[in-house]
Structure 1
Amino acid sequence: MRCAQCGDELAAAERGRPRRYCSRSCQARAYRARKDGGGLNRRSAPRTERARGELDRAAIVRSAIRIAGAEGLAAVSMRAVAASNGVAAMALYRHVSGKDELVRAMVDAVVAESRSPDRDSGDWRAVLEHQARQEWALYQRHPWVLAVLASTRPPLGSSVLAMVDRSMTALAGHFDADTSLSVYLLVSGYVQGMALLLTAEEEARRDSGVGYERWWSARRDHLAGTAGVRYPWLAEVSSEARLDDWFEFGLQRVLDGIGARR
C-alpha cells in the first residue's frame, strides 16, 4: 500500500484502521489540497496524469505568474495553477506548501528580473535613482506585484532582500542604518504611490478597452471647452499621457530632498 499523498510505500498498520498517509506532513498537505479545491490525489489520479505531474517548482511559479499577469493576483489559486499544468492540485504540494509560499516565490522570481547597477560608482543618488527606475519598470511589467510589496510585511526572499541591500549599501557611508532604511522606504514608497496609477490604469484598460491616452484626451478637450473660463489651466495642460514624465519629475524632487538632508 502507498501513501495517498506522496506515493511512498506504507508500513502495514499493526492494528486498527489501515494507514492512508506515511506522515503527519503528508496528511497536512492532503488536507490543504482538499481545502484549496484539489479533487484528485495520487491514488485517484489517472496514470497519464501522474506521469505528466512531474512538475518542478520553477514551472509552477512560471504558471502562477502567467495567470496573475492575465487575470490578476486574485485569480491565482492552487487549483488554477494545477489546471494550467494539467495536473491535480495535490501534485503542487510536493513543491510548495500552499498559496502563501507560492506568492512569495512568484514575487522573488519577478524581482530577480531587475538589473543591478553596472558598477558600484559610490554615488548614492545614482544607485537610488537606478533602483527606483527598476522598481517602476517592475510594476509596469507585473502590476499584480505592487499589492504584495506595498506592505509592512512583504515577502523577504533572496531577491527582495538583495534589492533592499543595494540601496542600504549605497547609503551606508552617508546615514546610519535606521536613517538609511527610512530613506529607502521614502523612495520606494514614492515609486509605489505612483505605481498605483499603473495598476489602476491596467484594470481600467482591461475593463473598458479604452486606454488612458484616449480617455484623457477626450476629457481634457471637453473640460477645456466647458470649464476653461473657471479653470484656465485646463487649456494649458498637455493632452499627452505622461506617466513616465510625472514619475521622473517626482523622483528627482524626492532625491533632491534626501540630498538636502545630508
Structure 2
Amino acid sequence: MRRTGSGSAAPYLRIVREIERRIDTGALRPGDRVPSIRQAAAQWGVATATAAKALDTLRRQGRVVAIPRVGTMVAEPGPPRSGTGRARRKRHPVTPGPNDERARVVHAAIALADAQGFEAVSMRAIAATLGMPTMSLYGLLRGKEEMATLMADTVFGELELPPEPPPGWRAHLELAARLQWSLYLRHPWLPRLMSLTHPQPLPNLLKFGNWGMSAILGLGLDPETARTVWWAVANHVRGTATNLEAQHDAELHTGLTPDQWYTAHLPSLHAALSTRTAPLDDRLEFDLTAFFEAGLRLLLDGAAVQIGRQHRP
C-alpha cells in the first residue's frame, strides 16, 4: 500500500497543503493572488499538470477562486457547515454588478485617495471601507488599473464647463487652466494618472479637452500649432500639479510648510545660489498656485506671439 504521510505526500498535495497553510496563518488573505500554474510549477519544481491539479483541488475546496483576466485569488471564508471538521469556503460568483454599485465603489476609492493618497487605494482597502467582501469587487471591476481609470473620469466629470465660454481665446484658455488646477487641488493624486504621451479616451476628459481646444479653433492656425498650444497649457497645469502630492507628503514628513522649509534652508541656499544671476530674497516665499499662475501668464504670452503670426481674422 502506498504511504500517505507528510514526507511522501503526492506532489500536488504538498502544494495544496502549503497554500492552505499560508491562508490559515494569514500570510495569504482574502483577495490576495495565489501562485499561477506556471509560478507554482517553478516554485515547487513540479510539472504544470501537477500544479494545475493542486489549484483545481483548492478551487473545489472553496479555498481559492479563479477570476477571468485577473488570476486565482484567495476566497472569502464562508459560514461553517454543521458538524465538525474544517469550515468550507464559499465561492462568490463573478458577475457584472449594476452601474450604481460600481459608482459607489469608485466614489469610495476617490474619497480614500483624497484622504490618504493614491497608494492607499487597493481593492482590499475599498472593500473594508464599504463593508464588502474583497472578492465581490472583482465582479464589478477588473482591478486597480480599471479603478484608476474610472476614478480619473469621474472626477473630471465634476468640472462645470460653461456652455458660453468667456470671449477671446486667452480668457477661454485661462479659465480652462484654472478649472483644471482647481480639480487637481481637490484631488492631488489625479495628476499622476494623466499622461501626455499615453492619453486615455475617457469621456469626461475628452469633453473637457474638446471644450478647452475650442478656444483656439477658428483662429486660422495650422492644426499642429493649435494642438501644441492646447497641450502646452494642459501639460503646464498637470506638470505643476504633480508637486501637490509631493508637497503634502513632504509636509507630513518634515512638519514644515514650503515657506518654513525655505526659511530654514536659506543659509545653504544662499551659499549655493546667491550669485549676480541668481539673487535670493531673505523673505523668500513659495506658493504653488502663484507659481502656476505666473507660469500660465508666461506660456500664454508666448502663445499670443505664435498665434499673432498665424492668426487670420
Query: Is the TM value for this pair above 0.5?
Result: yes
Report which stretch shifted further, 239-248 or 81-90: 239-248
1:129 to 2:168 alignment: no
1:61 to 2:61 alignment: no
Sequence identity of aligned pairs in percent? 32
Task: Tell me the number of residue pairs that the alignment of Structure 1 and Structure 2 aligns.
Answer: 230
| C-alpha distance in 1 between matches for 2:71 and 2:128 | 13
Q: Is the 8 A contact 1:117 1:127 kept in 2?
A: no
- The runs of 4+ residues in structure 1 deviating greater than 4 Å are 41-47, 223-232
1:239 to 2:284 alignment: yes
Q: Is the 8 A contact 1:41 1:88 kept in 2?
A: no
Report which stretch shifted further, 180-189 or 209-218: 209-218
Cα gap change, 1:64/1:252 in structure 2, threshold over 3 Å: closer, same or farther?
Answer: same
1:93 to 2:138 alignment: yes
Q: Deviations over 1:136-180 (max 9, x none)?
A: 222222111111113422332211001110122221102244332
1:206 is matched with which residue?
Answer: 252
Select 1:170's aligned residue among 215, 234, 258: 215
Query: 1:92: Cα distance to partner?
Result: 1.3
2:241 is matched with which residue?
Answer: 195
| C-alpha distance in 1 between matches for 2:125 and 2:176 | 33
Query: 1:228: Cα distance to partner?
Result: 9.1
| C-alpha distance in 2 between matches for 1:258 and 1:42 | 62
Q: Map 1:133-152; keep pairs closer than 5 Å.
A: 133-152=178-197
Say which SS state the counterpart of residue 233 (structure 1) adopts.
Answer: coil
Instruction: Point out the structure with max Rg over C-alpha.
Output: 2
Say which SS state the counterpart of residue 182 (structure 1) adopts.
Answer: helix
Query: What code does the residue aligned with 2:121 have?
Result: V
| C-alpha distance in 2 between matches for 1:123 and 1:228 | 41
Query: 1:33: Cα distance to partner?
Result: 6.7
2:147 is matched with which residue?
Answer: 102
Query: What code does the residue aligned with 1:167 have?
Result: G
Which 5+ residue runs of structure 2 have no aligned equivalent?
Answer: 1-55, 60-64, 80-88, 308-313
Query: What code does the residue aligned with 1:119 have?
Result: E
| C-alpha distance in 2 between matches for 1:254 and 1:112 | 26
Cα gap change, 1:219/1:86 in structure 2, threshold over 3 Å: closer, same or farther?
Answer: same
| C-alpha distance in 2 between matches for 1:195 and 1:229 | 28
Q: Is the 8 A contact 1:123 1:170 kept in 2?
A: yes
Q: Is the 8 A contact 1:41 1:90 kept in 2?
A: no
Structure number with the higher helix fraction is 1
Cα gap change, 1:224/1:205 in structure 2, threshold over 3 Å: closer, same or farther?
Answer: closer
Report which stretch shifted further, 252-261 or 85-94: 85-94
Query: What code does the residue aligned with 1:106 have?
Result: M
1:114 to 2:152 alignment: no
Say which SS state the counterpart of residue 215 (structure 2) adopts.
Answer: helix
Query: What code does the residue aligned with 1:201 have?
Result: Q
Cα gap change, 1:237/1:164 in structure 2, threshold over 3 Å: closer, same or farther?
Answer: farther
Query: 1:81: Cα distance to partner?
Result: 1.2
Report which stretch shifted further, 197-206 or 117-126: 117-126
2:76 is matched with which residue?
Answer: 40
Say which SS state the counterpart of residue 56 (structure 1) adopts.
Answer: helix
Query: 1:198: Cα distance to partner?
Result: 1.9
2:42 is matched with which residue?
Answer: none
Q: Is the 8 A contact 1:45 1:88 kept in 2?
A: no
1:253 is matched with which residue?
Answer: 298
Cα gap change, 1:34/1:87 in structure 2, threshold over 3 Å: closer, same or farther?
Answer: farther
Between 1 and 2, higher relative CO (CA 8 Å, sep ≥ 6) is seen in 1
| C-alpha distance in 2 between matches for 1:173 and 1:181 | 13
| C-alpha distance in 2 between matches for 1:188 and 1:224 | 31
Cα gap change, 1:33/1:68 in structure 2, threshold over 3 Å: closer, same or farther?
Answer: farther
Cα gap change, 1:94/1:261 in structure 2, threshold over 3 Å: closer, same or farther?
Answer: same
| RMSD of aligned Cα (Å) | 3.3
- TM-score, length basis structure 2: 0.63
Cα gap change, 1:27/1:197 in structure 2, threshold over 3 Å: closer, same or farther?
Answer: closer
Q: Is the 8 A contact 1:33 1:93 kept in 2?
A: no
Q: Map 1:3-22; keep pairs closer than 5 Å.
A: none
